[in-house]
Structure 1
Amino acid sequence: MSSNNLELKKVLGPLQIWGLGVGIVISGSYFGWNYGLAESGFVGMLIATAVIGIMYVTLCLSLAELSTTMPHAGGAYAFTRRAMGPLAGFITGIGVTLEFAVGTAVFTSGAGYYVHFLIPAIDPILAAAVLYVFFFIVHILGVNEYATIEMILVTISVGVVLLFSFYGMPHISADKLFGGDLIPGGISGIWAALPYAMWLYICMEMLPMLSEECRDPVKDMPKGIMRAIYTLVILAILVVTVTVGLGGAEGTSKEANPLSYAIATGVNENSWLISVLSVVGLFGMLSSLAGAILAYSRQTFALSRAGYLPKFLSKLNKKRRTPYMAILVPGSVGFIFVLMFNPDRLILIATFGALVSYIMMNLSLIILRIKEPNLARPYKAPLYPIVPIVSIIISILALFSSVFKDPTFFFINIAIFTVAIVYFYVWARHHINSDAPEEQFSIITGEGENGEIKESV
């Protein structure tokens, strides 16, 4: 099949990129981050939020350069493939796919609980299943249709987070913020909170995967990425401070609906805002759920188009030009995770996959600057090499944070990537498609699909 028959439709502009970036992350403000409070307390969580915020700002600066240099659907896989070869590209792609497929499961679990909270008669698992099917259909219809829905969800979700923050500020209790042990678990408590602080920002890195669907990726992608991450840093600090200031760290850490709990505890248990937060919290979950499906489907599509994954996963809908098999298959696996694990454990898998990809992408930026200094770079990351180095250091620290929270899941993650490496050597490296855009844009000299040295196209 020619590469022209496997190209995605170009429809996105800078405002849509900002909306998609904020939208895929926004549910982290409503659900998930609070699980880290038990070990960290407010001060520890605020430190973790700030540290992870720095990691994501520096990561996004690196991604802005890489995405304008290589505007392909492969995103993270494309960057590391060019810099470090097929195995590195594949491992990075697996990390991204794992992050978003499992992230979809977390978002769907959260959405199911919100539906159950609003309508107790509806089983949360049934609600999750219905939501999966609905968003599968939306994504198969097309990215433009999805982006329109996402902008509506994002506008509502961000507006209500700001409403919650400013409505709750006058009622913040200093005792709830700073009373008792400031950081119950000490340094290890902060370290254990890092994966949950990531939930306030995670999935931002999906935006480069949309470069192939941008009308003008060189101009629009850096603007969209950076505006989105700055928006999210502000929202993260507001949400953590106001929520804990109203509900306290101990009580908030156990809640599936932390913002509503905070208003009920710190303001008025009959407040009108509680119901609004529950409804809009569901919108936030749906926004992130929809974005995660978009991300894992594009990464799966790119890996399949390049031959690393089975060919059927890169099939496109003939009319809509959407990768329907890359939407359905990983999503179905994600739903199995919903049935098997609690969300707080799934977060440890999703963040591990994400951190592997962050390390590899930042390394790729450094390697490409050294190996290919004359490569066209319409946008250059400022303060190089400080930016990628800072991001790498924080990513490595966060990678080992699950040891402090749940060592079992740390070793589960190691096992997943070990299996992926074995799979690459046994099957994937023998089926690489040199006609895929990411493969054509490979390094100037490096390993070919069967190990031979080749030149790039």
Structure 2
Amino acid sequence: MTLKPLKSPSPGSGDGQDAYFARRALRRGSAGWLLLTGLGVAYVVSGDFSGWNFGLAEGGFGGLAIAMLLMGVMYACMVFSLAELSSILPTAGGGYGFARRALGPWGGFLTGTAILIEYVLAPAAISIFIGDYVESLGLFALTSGWPVYLACFVVFIGIHLWGVGEALRFSFVVTGIAVTALLVFAIGAFTEFDASGLNDIPVDPEAFGANSWLPMGLLGIWAAFPFGMWFFLGVEGVPLAAEETRDPARTLPRAIIWSMGVLVVLALLTFLASTGARGSAAIQDAGNPLVAALQPDGEPTTLSRIVNYAGLAGLIASFFSLIYAGSRQLFALSRAGYLPRFLSLTSRRKAPYLGLLVPGAVGFGLAASTGDGAGMLNVAVFGATISYALMSLSHIVLRRREPGLSRPYRTPGGTATSSVALVLACAALVATFLVDVTAAVIALLVYGAALAYFGVYSKDRLVARAPEEEFAALAAAEAELR
């Protein structure tokens, strides 16, 4: 496969190499490590408010606790690996750029497409959850449905079009509200903590290895993997802000690691406080488990109302930040020619407007036509686990094949750390089939269609001067000199 530079400009067209990238430039230096840390937490924080508790129905308290621990280890190992990779190649391509250098064009496209599936489907699902919250809270006399989904996409994409600095500051404020509410919730819920309720889910006598802590047996641990991921799903998107970051080689590793640290604390507090306050059985099927944990008799309290409104803030923070991540991944893949190039055009405010509008239109269409938020999140998780495995593999390959590559930050434990992430990511990928076979098959079909497009059309139309392609070309040139 050869990289083909763009054709020479035709008279008056302005479509030469310099003009091409001038029309595809992001606003540099818009974010420091604090805003990026907030972005990393924002990707994930909605998962603390709902969704994770369905893992109790799959594995019980013990099964979900072990799943959360293992998935936490996977994300921690992956985050340390991504911190190193992002210091090597700080571009908007994120994980796709790392895989492009390590695994070639096919590996880059496989990774980028998996990430894109995650970041297009997750906002669509969250818009549905926002609609449910709006209806349950009785806000604006609205009911859940397409007008709410449309309002979400229009308003928040509009803020992104305004500018990345403004968008990240908005996300930081909303995320701060959600995190504060989680801490207040934990304080209130721990005053009602009763350890006897942790293992109150009935035991399945036919399940292998079943007991009161593992009521669905050992297989329940594996089935709970996708729900253990909900406490951390999305944090890997921090490197996608690389080209809009001040001193990215130093800032990105710091922000990624701090984000993960905050998320671990929130995960432990939320999980233990919720199950301890009401018992696992009472919240395993709750659409709003934190509120359910604070209302033993079903009657709202002042604290439960606060948490309920904060849950909406958490959903908005994740929705808003995931739109950002999806637009940057689409921008990078398009700029390099993997997807149609027009999708990477930027506005006068340096926002990838088509990268925001096109996924937004797709997400709104899916939300309005299906209304199946849980199913779309399962598809997103499938894409995420593929990208995790490929990004971890990229770290291993680059460490072994290019040990002399400049690494401003180095992963503690080296390839042993990324190998742990790789094994656990593969286990989580298989677990998605245990939870929702239909969603996994749909994700595979979408993945297959994207790969067919790349194999038939775009693989011979890559843009040689795109940052990720230049990085790969440099590696090839260095290999020839050895």
Structure 1 pair 276–383 and aligned structure 2 pair: CA distance change class (3 A): same
Q: 1:123 maps to what in 2?
A: 143
Q: How far, CA to CA, are the matches of 2:250 and 2:338 in structure 1?
A: 31
Letter in 1 for 2:63: G
Q: 1:383 maps to what in 2?
A: 413
1:347-366 alignment to 2 at 5 Å? 347-366=377-396
Matched, 1:417 2:447: yes
Q: How far, CA to CA, are the matches of 2:246 and 2:184 in structure 1?
A: 34
Q: 1:25 maps to what in 2?
A: 44
Aligned-pair CA distance for 1:360: 0.8
Q: 2:63 maps to what in 1?
A: 44
Q: How far, CA to CA, are the matches of 1:359 and 1:277 in structure 2?
A: 35
Alignment match of 1:7 (pick from 2, 14, 25): 25
Q: How far, CA to CA, are the matches of 1:446 and 1:379 in structure 2?
A: 23
> Contact 2:63–2:213 at 8 Å: present in 1 too?
yes
Q: How far, CA to CA, are the matches of 1:139 and 1:66 in structure 2?
A: 26
Q: How far, CA to CA, are the matches of 2:218 and 2:382 in structure 1?
A: 20
Alignment match of 1:165 (pick from 171, 186, 198): 186
Q: 1:58 maps to what in 2?
A: 77
Structure 1 pair 372–64 and aligned structure 2 pair: CA distance change class (3 A): same
TM-score (norm: length of structure 1): 0.94
- Give deviations 1:95-122, integer Å, cap 9, x for gaps: 1110011111122111111111111731
Q: Which runs of 5+ in 1 are unaligned?
A: 448-452
> Contact 1:68–1:378 at 8 Å: present in 2 too?
yes
Letter in 2 for 1:115: V
- Give deviations 1:171-192, integer Å, cap 9, x for gaps: 0222220234322222221211
Letter in 2 for 1:419: A
Aligned-pair CA distance for 1:312: 1.7
- Give deviations 1:32-61, integer Å, cap 9, x for gaps: 212222111111111111111111111110
Q: How far, CA to CA, are the matches of 1:426 and 1:434 in structure 2?
A: 19
Q: 1:251 maps to what in 2?
A: 282
Aligned-pair CA distance for 1:400: 0.6
Alignment match of 2:120 (pick from 101, 116, 123): 101
Letter in 2 for 1:189: G
Q: 2:299 maps to what in 1?
A: 269
> Contact 1:85–1:446 at 8 Å: present in 2 too?
no
> Contact 2:295–2:304 at 8 Å: present in 1 too?
yes
Q: 1:450 maps to what in 2?
A: none
Q: Per the alignment, in what secondary structure is the counterpart of residue 402 of structure 1?
A: helix
Letter in 2 for 1:114: Y
Q: How far, CA to CA, are the matches of 1:380 and 1:221 in structure 2?
A: 13
Letter in 2 for 1:144: G
- Give deviations 1:142-176, integer Å, cap 9, x for gaps: 11001111111111111110110111102022222
Q: 1:337 maps to what in 2?
A: 366
Matched, 1:231 2:262: yes
Q: How far, CA to CA, are the matches of 1:220 and 1:324 in structure 2?
A: 26
Aligned-pair CA distance for 1:23: 1.3
Structure 1 pair 254–429 and aligned structure 2 pair: CA distance change class (3 A): same
1:284-433 alignment to 2 at 5 Å? 284-317=314-347, 319-339=348-368, 340-433=370-463
Q: How far, CA to CA, are the matches of 1:254 and 1:167 in structure 2?
A: 21
Aligned-pair CA distance for 1:346: 1.7
Matched, 1:76 2:109: no
Q: 1:151 maps to what in 2?
A: 172
> Contact 2:381–2:432 at 8 Å: present in 1 too?
no
Q: How far, CA to CA, are the matches of 1:337 and 1:249 in structure 2?
A: 33
Stretch moving more, 165-174 or 137-146: 165-174
Matched, 1:176 2:197: yes
Q: How far, CA to CA, are the matches of 2:366 and 2:68 in structure 1?
A: 27
Larger Rg: 2
> Contact 1:444–1:455 at 8 Å: present in 2 too?
no
> Contact 1:3–1:437 at 8 Å: present in 2 too?
no
> Contact 1:308–1:428 at 8 Å: present in 2 too?
yes
Stretch moving more, 104-113 or 132-141: 104-113
Q: Which runs of 5+ in 2 are unaligned?
A: 1-18, 203-211
> Contact 1:40–1:186 at 8 Å: present in 2 too?
yes
Instruction: State the identity as a percent.
Output: 37
Q: Per the alignment, in what secondary structure is the counterpart of residue 124 of structure 1?
A: coil
Q: How far, CA to CA, are the matches of 1:128 and 1:247 in structure 2?
A: 32
Aligned-pair CA distance for 1:443: 4.8
> Contact 1:72–1:437 at 8 Å: present in 2 too?
yes
Q: How far, CA to CA, are the matches of 1:315 and 1:444 in structure 2?
A: 26
1:197-236 alignment to 2 at 5 Å? 197-236=228-267
Q: How far, CA to CA, are the matches of 1:278 and 1:230 in structure 2?
A: 25
Give aligned pairs, total. Answer: 449
> Contact 1:17–1:221 at 8 Å: present in 2 too?
yes
Q: How far, CA to CA, are the matches of 2:466 and 2:448 in structure 1?
A: 26
Aligned-pair CA distance for 1:19: 0.7
> Contact 1:176–1:249 at 8 Å: present in 2 too?
yes
Stretch moving more, 223-232 or 407-416: 407-416
Q: How far, CA to CA, are the matches of 1:270 and 1:334 in structure 2?
A: 33
